[in-house]
Structure 1
Amino acid sequence: MLWKISILEYNLKTHNTSVDRPQTIVVLAMSADGKIADKTRSPARFSTPVDRSHLEQQVAEADGVLFGAGTLRAYGTTLSVSNPQLLQLRSQQGLPLQPVQIVCSSSVEFDAELRFFRQQVPRWLLTTATGAQRAQQSSIAGSFERILLVQTDQGKIDWNNALRQLVNLGIKRLAVLGGGELVASLLAADLIDELWLTICPLILGGATAPTPVEGEGFSLHLARHLELLSVQTVEQEVFLHYRRQGS
């Protein structure tokens, strides 16, 4: 099943997004109790083919796909666009067949044998000066077409700077695929515009199982409020589309 909305249809919509950064959309599947993986943090493979089709649609609509180091290490790969209709739509719009796959990591500790490094996709790295040096000295040297240095004075990734660099490089629509720490960092910096959350019919439980937003969390008066744009139920899954209030 192909998710019904097409790239052409989506691009006709208007968006209130700052011109100095991409429109940023989080796309995650979670259990009914709000977990994106089990207590061992193994890859979350509990969604249905319908949700995977939906995820591929969101990837196909993006100029870039952003995910954290933990997500890459857990899955060892990334989702590329393979549906012929979606590939044709990207081609008709003059887009590259595959969006840029952007990994963010300060440590850049990756196994060079991960299938990700053999996939036919453009790969970029968002990192710090230390991470860039490690990448250039490691077995993955040359695996990234572009390395972006986006470091704060404290040696962490500067997300405002990162998104400014991305939009200047042609990334106008950015799909964020996890994990929870990355989403928390972007939310804390008010850099997320929309969320697509798929609720899957299972309970994982456990205090150590990750959620869509990790980190320290927000107090009630600092909570990020959302506007519900749509709800769709397909078989046993519920697809929720939110926009951050104020976007």
Structure 2
Amino acid sequence: MDVLVNAAVSADGKLSSRRREQIAISGEADFARVDRLRAEVDGIVVGVGTVLADDPSLIRHDEAHRRKRRGPNAPPPVRIVADSRCRTPTGADVLAGGPTTYLLTSEAAPPERREALRDVGAETVVAGDERVDLGEAFGRLEDDGIERLLVEGGGELIFSLFEAGLVDELTVFIGNMIIGGRDAPTLADGEGFVSAFPELELAGVEQLDSGVVLEWTVR
């Protein structure tokens, strides 16, 4: 499986403010770039924190680009939420209509919450005891024919993926603003590394909107 992480951060590396409110860091040109990325993958992944904060639908993508790159009959990307305790609301937009939604969860999730989410159409993948075992869960997705994933946040999920050695590529739009705040989320939150830091190799640089896009591969 190929895993691409994409994010937009401020010049000081923040995903949003300390209030965890959605902030427009990039502009229309970057939105179009992300829509093309979405069109090229089999699934789009977010963590439950992103679902609770932003209620994304994860259905927007460049359909013309998808048909050109993947053929006229290629299905739209599935939606995937990493949610160890099944905190995703049953009325969340990520569960409404559209393509299949996979919910990656753990044995610690209350059975009644798993059942409630299945009742509204989620395909639950249980992997791990207290937290989602991302390696196992991604392997199960691969068994379903999902071979390329686009991860869109948040910081806790991105850190966990780097920690598990599952990230192949990282693309970051760096915007022209300072957000600040020790409690504001960053690209990779979680416990942080103290050794064996993941290393990246720069693969591309592009000026876009009022910022810059950096493309990296993971060594």
Bin of the TM-score, shorter chain as denominator length:
over 0.9
1:146-171 CA-partner distances (Å, limit 9, x unpaired) = 2111114xx22112211211111111
User: Please, which of 188, 202, 207 is the counterpart of residue 182 of structure 2?
Assistant: 207
Residue of structure 2 equivalent to 1:146: 123
What TM-score, normalized to structure 1?
Answer: 0.82
Q: Displacement, 1:137?
A: 4.1
Taking the aligned partners of 2:160 and 2:63, their CA distance within structure 1 comes to: 35
- 1:161 paired with 2:136, answer yes
What amino acid does structure 1 have at the position aligned with 2:153? Answer: G
The runs of 5 or more residues in structure 2 that have no matched partner are none
Q: Is the partner of 1:222 in helix, strand or coil?
A: coil
- Go from structure 1 to structure 2 and tell me whether the alpha carbon gap of 1:87 and 1:224 turns closer, same or farther (over 3 Å shift): closer
- Go from structure 1 to structure 2 and tell me whether the alpha carbon gap of 1:160 and 1:116 turns closer, same or farther (over 3 Å shift): closer
Residue of structure 1 equivalent to 2:207: 233
Residue of structure 1 equivalent to 2:216: 242
- 1:107 paired with 2:107, answer no
Q: In the alignment, is the contact (CA less than 8 A) between 1:28 and 1:197 conserved in 2?
A: yes
- Go from structure 1 to structure 2 and tell me whether the alpha carbon gap of 1:131 and 1:207 turns closer, same or farther (over 3 Å shift): same
The runs of 5 or more residues in structure 1 that have no matched partner are 1-21
Q: In the alignment, is the contact (CA less than 8 A) between 1:228 and 1:243 conserved in 2?
A: yes
- 1:83 paired with 2:62, answer yes
Q: In the alignment, is the contact (CA less than 8 A) between 1:193 and 1:243 conserved in 2?
A: yes
Residue of structure 1 equivalent to 2:170: 195
Q: Displacement, 1:132?
A: 6.4
- Counterpart mapping for 1:25-64 below 5 A: 25-64=4-43
Count of matched residue pairs = 219
Taking the aligned partners of 1:110 and 1:91, their CA distance within structure 2 comes to: 31
- Go from structure 1 to structure 2 and tell me whether the alpha carbon gap of 1:136 and 1:222 turns closer, same or farther (over 3 Å shift): closer
- Go from structure 1 to structure 2 and tell me whether the alpha carbon gap of 1:157 and 1:149 turns closer, same or farther (over 3 Å shift): same
Taking the aligned partners of 2:201 and 2:114, their CA distance within structure 1 comes to: 43
Q: In the alignment, is the contact (CA less than 8 A) between 1:227 and 1:243 conserved in 2?
A: yes
**Percent same amino acid at aligned positions?**
30
- 1:128 paired with 2:106, answer yes
What TM-score, normalized to structure 2?
Answer: 0.92
Taking the aligned partners of 2:61 and 2:166, their CA distance within structure 1 comes to: 29
- Go from structure 1 to structure 2 and tell me whether the alpha carbon gap of 1:33 and 1:165 turns closer, same or farther (over 3 Å shift): same
Q: 115-124 or 84-93: which moved more? A: 84-93
